[in-house]
Structure 1
């Protein structure tokens, strides 16, 4: 198998596991309070990454870099996974993931404002399409047919993801990216577990096979292995391909949600998703980044 074929296989793996993460998470939430579930899966994934990163222990520099690890953990894990896991209780998984993947559009705006990245006509058109897409998806929240709170939480999840990415990009030169990911996931998971333990009850978790298997799958494949594959692709110069494949994730999420959760596909969902996909493509088509940060 050629290197290009291996890269394609890894990209397919990454997009598939990050896509099916959404309905699997919604299934797991039937058996656990949201914050405890979010904390359990991220701590397990973070500990796996720590074990993998141990041969590079000298690059951790925890005493020096802990403020960066903590800030990134709050933005990219505590807020992102917290809003995500709570919000999935209120709206369909496919709809929620579609709104969250407005993140590349928000990232385009923030990169222009705070990182000095270029802004041009095609990109501005793409940003406008992205907002129109979210407006289409949010019609149900305005009319009352779906939860407005769920839509707000999805937007908050996208916002925290974008802000976390900007923060990471501003500090990328100071940290080892594998340790950065391991630390932010582990620290964020511990914070979520603490908040969950204070506000929720461990006795409310139903430790059946469905919950355990879904949680382990997400922790191992979505969080730990997903990030390892991502870094392998980045190190091999495949960042552009990772970015171009990202728009497939909500499509897979919607398809998996229809199969696993019997969710319905509505016209405003189709229109909104097409607008967001078009937006992401237009925003990123002329952007060659050496690194782009994506969450699950």
Structure 2
């Protein structure tokens, strides 16, 4: 019988798993934009973006379902209410979120999208305050939210040191949709935590991805969407996104089930860090613009305050 894991080691493992998920999600920004190029999807071709997203999530969900079935876990036999919850979670956290996310990413830079999407952390903190009695907003969390949103404002200022609020660069179909996607993700995370209390989080994730992905495919093809030429490069990139989705969302669901929402979601501060660095590297986007640097520092500082407050209460 192996010795029990110490609380310090458990927390370290939680932190490492959360950071790994954030690394995967950060890499999705340049991967999606490169996917558009490889599959020949124009920035205005929304139906084809839905097809691209649909294949990614449907395949990820089916792969997870095959794995959990092979491992002998229960994948059926729940009451109608449970199936309804799974369908709602799939429509919310996969279909609706990624309709906004894929369109938003196509209409802004990968660097800005990764920073804007960090607002999901603050939405999660606010939602947890009203839904969980042991996850209230403290002064540190409140200041973290304020500082983080200041970073979101900073990244949308006009270019150059002369940028002011009158030069605010914010497009609904770009940055706006990324923020809406972050809000939907926060709602889905809270709802998924509730469902996971009575169901294996991996099975929940598998059905969520499958249902949401199939709906995205149906919407995309019904409105005239299609993928361009399928090549080795485009297929490899799609395969990476499939693995990314199944791994990151499964691990994240497990972490949310066994930990407070504000503690786990606070680790999202690393998503804009990884996202900006990888977008700057793979997409050759500007990382050194003053507004990007200031925004990144503010967003990360804000979420660090939330993380510290949550960890002190753990």
Partner in structure 1 of residue 162 of structure 2 = none
Distance in 1 separating the partners of 2:89 and 2:251? 21
Distance in 1 separating the partners of 2:149 and 2:16? 32
Which stretches in structure 2 are left out of the alignment for 5+ residues?
Answer: 42-47, 159-164
Distance in 1 separating the partners of 2:197 and 2:138? 27
Partner in structure 2 of residue 119 of structure 1 = 137
Partner in structure 2 of residue 91 of structure 1 = 108
Residue 68 of structure 1 deviates from its aligned partner by: 0.6
Within 5 Å, give how 1:44-63 maps onto structure 2.
Answer: 44-54=59-69, 55-57=72-74, 61=78, 63=80
Partner in structure 2 of residue 198 of structure 1 = 222
Partner in structure 2 of residue 262 of structure 1 = 284
- Confirm or deny: 8 A CA contact 1:96 1:154 kept in the other structure: yes
Distance in 1 separating the partners of 2:240 and 2:297? 29
- Secondary structure of the residue that 1:61 maps to in structure 2? coil
- Confirm or deny: 8 A CA contact 1:59 1:179 kept in the other structure: no
- Secondary structure of the residue that 1:29 maps to in structure 2? helix
Partner in structure 2 of residue 252 of structure 1 = 274
Residue 218 of structure 1 deviates from its aligned partner by: 0.8
Partner in structure 1 of residue 44 of structure 2 = none
RMSD: 3.1
Given candidates 167, 173, 184, the residue that maps to 1:149 is: 173
* Deviates most, 280-289 or 48-57: 280-289
Residue 180 of structure 1 deviates from its aligned partner by: 1.0
Change (3 A) 1:231 1:164: closer
Distance in 2 separating the partners of 1:239 and 1:111? 6
Larger Rg: 2
TM-score, length-normalised on structure 1? Answer: 0.85
Residue 25 of structure 1 deviates from its aligned partner by: 0.9
- Secondary structure of the residue that 1:88 maps to in structure 2? helix
Deviations 1:6-39 (A, max 9, x none): 9477556433322211101111012242101110
Change (3 A) 1:62 1:48: farther
Residue 132 of structure 1 deviates from its aligned partner by: 1.3
Partner in structure 2 of residue 27 of structure 1 = 34
Residue 287 of structure 1 deviates from its aligned partner by: 2.1
- Secondary structure of the residue that 2:74 maps to in structure 1? helix
Partner in structure 1 of residue 183 of structure 2 = 159
- Secondary structure of the residue that 1:287 maps to in structure 2? helix
Partner in structure 2 of residue 176 of structure 1 = 200
Distance in 2 separating the partners of 1:217 and 1:198? 26
